[in-house]
Amino acid sequence: MSVSIGELAVRFGCELRGDPDVVVEHVATLAGADERSVAFLANRRYRGELAATRAAAVVLDAEAAGDCPAAALVCRNPHATYARIAAVLHPLPAGPAGIDPSAVVSPQAKVDPGAHVGALSVIGAGAVVGARAFIGPQCLVGQDVVVGEDVRLVGRVTLCRGAEVGARTVIQPGAVIGGDGFGFAPEQGRWIKVPQIGTVRIGEDVEIGANTTVDRGAIDDTVIEDGVKLDNLIQIGHNVRVGAHSALAACVGVSGSTTIGRRCMIGGQVGIGGHLTISDDVVITGCTMVSHSITGPGVYSGGIPFEDASTWRRLVARFKRLESLASRLKALERRPGSVPDQEEDDD
């Protein structure tokens, strides 16, 4: 798609420093751009690439604009503005309205005439597919599922019985929404399956990554609120609630009945225990194990950074000796004439 940088400046509220009639067709990195490209600079580490860029225009902030050799689209948030420009220049492919001949659609389903249902997809009884929804190839939209307007199921997505997906949500290939949660009751050394009778409710403008799973609720529903972004390979347990506009990176696992607040950012491979509450505006750095509730906003970390193997073995050996060392210290402190610890002083 071709568009002038003058039009982009007006559309996205940028200050334009350069010829508004310059036409661009695609986006690129600073180093890989050509004379038909728009690039952007948001990370200071790439400032050195700005002087040599061949881009027709660069999206950047006012501080960096003076060093830009090309037309400058000046704004406060270059990364977000670049994202909007990229969406204009690289629109997602839209399937034709209608149902592919190879798809299987229940007579009891309701599919909007403007929706697209791709090859080999299945739409179950009682399902509702909204206007302009895109149901990609090999998707399963189960019984009584509701798919909102402009939803995009990229391909091979499974929406199990009763799931609800809000408008403009995007679900990437391989995701499973509404499978049974991990619910079993122990009895005499065996496990009795607990029926999972809730469902999953997904808000508007959500994105769910490839091969991510969101389990249905055991009794109440699992809820993903508006604007949440889930990366690939995430596990959301039954009865979890993820607050609006939170973002979870790849390989996060959230155990059942935990509530995550709004605007949280959770790094890759974080594990969150069950029946916990995470406050609004919490940042949890990668590989952290969360075993108790977090009651206030802030940045939280856990885990030990890597070391070379020999150092790591020594650290582990010392860690295992901490209990015996603590016992020996307590014994020494109990001897007559020893200096009392702080807690004894306070008493």
Annotated active-site positions, please?
Answer: 238
CA distances from 42 to 7, 57, 249 (A): 22, 14, 20
The secondary structure of 33-86 as a DSSP string is: --TTEEEE--SGGGGGGTTT---SEEEE-HHHHTT-SSEEEE-S-HHHHHHHHH
CA distance linking residue 252 with residue 247, whole number of Å? 11
Q: What is the dihedral of CA 224, 228, 232, 237, to 10 degrees?
A: -20
Report the 10 Å Cβ neighbour count for 246: 23
CA distance linking residue 324 with residue 236, whole number of Å? 39
Picking from 47, 50, 43, 82, the residue whose alpha carbon sits closest to that of residue 69 is 50
Q: Taking a C-beta distance cutoff of 8 angstroms, is the pair 103, 118 a contact?
A: yes
